[in-house]
Amino acid sequence: FVRRAIARLNDPRDRQAIVFVASCLLLADFALSSLIVAKVPYTEIDWTAYMEEVHGYISGERNYENLGGGTGPLVYPAGFVYVYSALYWLVGGLVRGTSAAGIGVAQRVFVL
């Protein structure tokens, strides 16, 4: 049984095996991430700084040299700004986004 399963996983043409493994990995990731969000207290690392950096962009600033937050200047590429702008909107802006409710929304988005 084990040899057959390994052979199937090593065959790039075996779509059923690929879909099965990918589904198991996604389910495990979802379950583990949900457990972590539920059980581990939130630790502030850079979320507030990210919201501050994106706040400048949302407010109309387009010069990268002028974008920054509490930890210094924005050093991430434009893709980061676009993704976190969407999160900024989802969590309700700078003030609500850095509150416990806003952070909880962002954590659930990351789990998905």
* Backbone angles phi and psi of 69, in degrees to 5: -145, -160
The 3-class secondary structure across 67-80, one letter per residue, is CEECCEECCCCHHH
- Pick from 35, 40, 36, 72: nearest CA to 53: 72
N-to-C CA span, the chain: 33
Output the pLDDT for position 5: 83
- The pLDDT tens digits of the residues spanning 21-77 come to 899 999 999 999 999 989 988 877 888 888 999 999 999 999 989 999 888 999 999
Output the pLDDT for position 83: 93
> Which residue's entry shows tokens 């920054």?
68
